[in-house]
């Protein structure tokens, strides 16, 4: 270590040899210049996670346990992201393949990887009409309701204290203009199945933020968005425990980024919940794609309670829509133009940090 770096690190420098006033002045100026350069480059973070953290937010990725042996994949994950979502490993068919026989091996690989590196974990998902194991698909009525609540309780209890935010219920509203609930075996157990799931999750892990997560809820004018908004409003009014809304935000030509996206984020936030962008991917390429990523990040940073963004995969080849090249890294793990726009937007933002989040209270 030289004297300058010793000084910067706060450790004692080795004794300086006597020198002329002129040399001392030149050395002093050089140290000041170095300090200026260091402080300005320190404010421009060089990774997504570090930049988001400077704004009090996280930047995460959906990851797959079977890719944790891929060194390119893990290298990007560990360098860039400070939150993870298991892409499939916490779904009902993965965690309870036979009724009351729980399997956490693959989910644990992801949770342990994340926690040992100080990353947050988004749990995905406790109650969903899809990816149900066969035994659950064949159930109905009270038996299904009880099985669902048992699942929520057992999984949330197992991971108690390790999960930052749970997607307690996923995709419970219908597409189209009806604003109705989606028909499913869970919905047919009674309209109160969603709040029952949230109450069970709160009892099992009082420290986790509890989210409702859905897609096609990005455009403020859509009936589905309005229906979710009314449910969250109702939950807050009646004291049903809910802390966050997840907007999946899978954007493509059929479901484009809406110009009123920021209104959607701020409107949900005004209900007194955090807003998280939970499954972001944007099909396309080049400048068009990069500028849409930039706008999404700007919108989140403009809303104090938009406290995190998760992209749904790392490389384009990891995506569920790989043909749409919707992610921030190409198939070889190189940064895309979309990555640069995302990092620039993160570094440029920061005028509205999120409030210090109190632990859930209801």
Q: What is the DSSP letter of 334?
A: P
- Rounded least distance, CB 85 to ligand G2I, Å: 9
| Cα–Cα distance measured from residue 138 to residue 140, given in angstroms and rounded to the nearest whole number | 7
| Catalytic residue chosen out of the listed positions 80, 87, 96, 171 | 171
70-89 footprint of ligand G2I as x/- string (CB under 6 A): -----------------xx-
321-360: which residues touch ligand G2I (CB under 6 A)? none
Query: How many helical (H) and strand (E) elements, i.e. helices and strands, does the chain have?
Result: 13, 9
User: Tokens in use for 141?
Assistant: 């009525």
161-180 residues in contact with ligand G2I (CB under 6 A) are: none
**Choice between 111 and 345, CB closer to ligand G2I:** 111
Which residues face 244 on adjacent strands? 211, 274
Give the x-and-dash track for 4-43 against ligand G2I (CB under 6 A): ----------------------------------------
Is 279 marked active-site?
A: yes
CA distances from 42 to 4, 31, 331 (A): 17, 16, 30
Give the span between the Cα atoms of 91 and 236, in whole angstroms.
26
Running DSSP on this structure, what letter comes out for residue 309? E
Q: Which is nearer to ligand G2I, 90 or 201 (CB)?
A: 90
How many residues of this chain interact with ligand G2I, rule: CB under 6 A? 7
Residue 329: count other Cβ atoms within 10 Å of its Cβ: 23
> E strands along 209-291, which residues?
209-214, 244-247, 250-251, 274-282
Cα–Cα distance, 173 to 180 (Å, whole number): 6
Q: DSSP 3-state assignment of 47? A: coil
- Choice between 257 and 320, CB closer to ligand G2I: 320
- For residue 113 the two structure tokens come to 């990887």
241-270 mask for ligand G2I (x: CB under 6 A)? -------x----------------------
Dihedral over Cα of 224, 130, 190, 271: its sign: negative
Residue 187 binds ligand G2I (CB under 6 A): no
Binding mask 197-236 for ligand G2I (x = CB under 6 A): ------------------x---------------------
In the block, residue with structure tokens 């009090």: 56
Residue 279 is a binding residue for ligand G2I (CB under 6 A)? yes
Name the residue nearer to ligand G2I (CB basis): 170 or 267: 170
DSSP for 128-168, please give it: ESSS--HHHHT--HHHHHHHHHHHHHHHHHHTTTT-SEEEE
Q: Could you tell me the smallest distance in angstroms from the CB atom of residue 311 to ligand G2I?
A: 12
Nearer to ligand G2I, 102 or 320 (CB): 320
Q: Does 189 bind ligand G2I (CB under 6 A)?
A: no
Q: Is 131 in the site for ligand G2I (CB under 6 A)?
A: yes
Beta-bridge partners for 124: 167
320 binds ligand G2I (CB under 6 A): yes
Q: Select 248 or 310, whichever has its Cβ closest to ligand G2I.
A: 248
Q: Which of 279, 283, 291, 344 is catalytic?
A: 279
Active-site residue list: 171, 279
Contacting positions for ligand G2I (CB under 6 A): 87-88, 131, 215, 248, 279, 320
């Amino acid at each position: 270590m030289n004297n300058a770096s010793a000084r910067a690190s706060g450790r004692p420098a080795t004794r300086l040899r006597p020198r002329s006033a002129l040399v001392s002045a030149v050395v002093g100026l050089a140290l000041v210049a170095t300090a200026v350069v260091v402080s300005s480059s320190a404010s421009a973070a060089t990774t997504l996670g570090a930049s988001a953290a400077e704004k009090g937010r996280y930047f995460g990725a959906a990851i797959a346990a079977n890719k944790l042996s891929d060194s390119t994949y893990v290298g990007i994950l560990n360098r860039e992201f400070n939150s993870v979502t298991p892409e499939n490993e916490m779904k009902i068919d993965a965690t309870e393949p036979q009724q009351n026989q729980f399997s956490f091996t693959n989910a644990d690989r992801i949770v342990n990887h994340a926690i040992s590196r100080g990353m947050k974990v988004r749990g995905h998902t406790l109650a969903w009409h899809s990816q149900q194991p066969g035994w659950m698909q064949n159930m109905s009525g009270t038996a299904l309701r009880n099985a669902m609540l048992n699942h929520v309780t057992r999984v949330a209890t197992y991971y108690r204290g390790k999960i930052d935010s749970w997607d307690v219920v996923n995709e419970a509203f219908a597409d189209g203009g009806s604003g109705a609930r989606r028909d499913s075996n869970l919905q047919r157990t009674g309209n109160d199945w969603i709040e029952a799931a949230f109450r069970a999750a709160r009892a099992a892990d009082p420290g986790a933020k509890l989210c409702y997560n859905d897609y096609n809820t990005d455009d403020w004018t859509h009936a589905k968005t309005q229906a979710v908004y009314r449910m969250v409003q109702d939950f807050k009014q009646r004291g049903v425990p809910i802390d966050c809304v997840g907007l999946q935000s899978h954007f493509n030509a059929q479901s484009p980024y809406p110009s009123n996206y920021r209104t959607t984020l701020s409107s949900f936030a005004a209900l007194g919940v955090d807003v998280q962008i939970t499954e972001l991917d944007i099909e396309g390429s080049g400048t068009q794609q990069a500028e849409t990523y930039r706008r999404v990040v700007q919108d989140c940073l403009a809303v104090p309670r938009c406290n995190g963004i998760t992209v749904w995969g790392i490389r384009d080849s990891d995506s569920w829509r790989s043909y749409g090249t919707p992610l921030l890294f190409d198939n070889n793990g190189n940064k895309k133009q979309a990555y640069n726009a995302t990092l620039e937007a993160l570094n440029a933002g920061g005028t509205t940090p999120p409030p210090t989040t109190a632990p859930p209270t209801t």
